[in-house]
Amino acid sequence: MVTQPRARYLDGPVAIIGAGIGGLTAALSLQHSGVPVRVFEQARALREIGAGVTITPNAMNVLDFLGIGPALAEQAGKTPRYFVRSAADGRELERGPDPCSRTTRSPSPSESSPTSTMT
Ligand SMILES: Cc1cc2nc3c(=O)[nH]c(=O)nc-3n(C[C@H](O)[C@H](O)[C@H](O)COP(=O)(O)OP(=O)(O)OC[C@H]3O[C@@H](n4cnc5c(N)ncnc54)[C@H](O)[C@@H]3O)c2cc1C
């Protein structure tokens, strides 16, 4: 069902359970449309838990639209090159960055060792 922003039957904020990237993006999206939100998170603190997350260009487009792209890019590391390999046989499935990548400078030699993602 598609609902309209500022729908009259919403008499309070929308409750969003979980402040992961999904919940926070949903919260920002609703706020962007003028819908008040309240986010509930069970964790005592939002903090790094040890795994990096690669944000793909299509996801960055959404975050740019929501106004947080520049702040995120400022905090993020850059991946000058990457390979995606099959976990089954190590076969290379993809390598990047692609020509549409947001990376605008050439990597220095010390940056050019590729990261590898197993799929
Ligand atoms: C090691 C690893 C590497 C990954 N790398 C990438 C990557 O490079 N790129 C990528 O796009 N994705 C990656 N992913 C996947 C990505 O992290 C997840 O798809 C994404 O974080 C899911 O977001 P989410 O908001 O749906 O859930 P979560 O991030 O799991 O957030 C859910 C939140 O809800 C809270 N919660 C749960 N139940 C309740 C409750 N009852 N009440 C209140 N709060 C609650 C939790 O505490 C949590 O904070 C990776 C995942 C892992 C594990």
pLDDT tens digits, 12-69: 899 999 999 999 999 999 999 899 999 999 999 988 888 778 888 899 999 999 999 9
In a shared domain, residues 119 and 85 = yes
- Same domain, residue pair 21 and 73: yes
Domain range for 103 is 79-119
Contacts of 70 by beta carbon, 8 Å cutoff, 6+ apart: 64
* Closest protein CA for atom 4 of ligand 1: 53
Nearest to 82 by CA among 63, 57, 59: 57
Residue 42 CB–ligand 1 contact under 6 Å: yes
| Global pTM value | 0.74
**Cβ 21 vs Cβ 53: under 8 Å:** yes
Q: Does 8 map to a domain?
A: no
Residues in Cβ contact with 12 at an 8 Å cutoff, skipping those fewer than 6 apart: 36
The strand pair at 37-40 and 14-17 is best described as parallel
119 lines ligand 1 (CB under 6 A): no
Give me the number of domains the chain comprises: 2
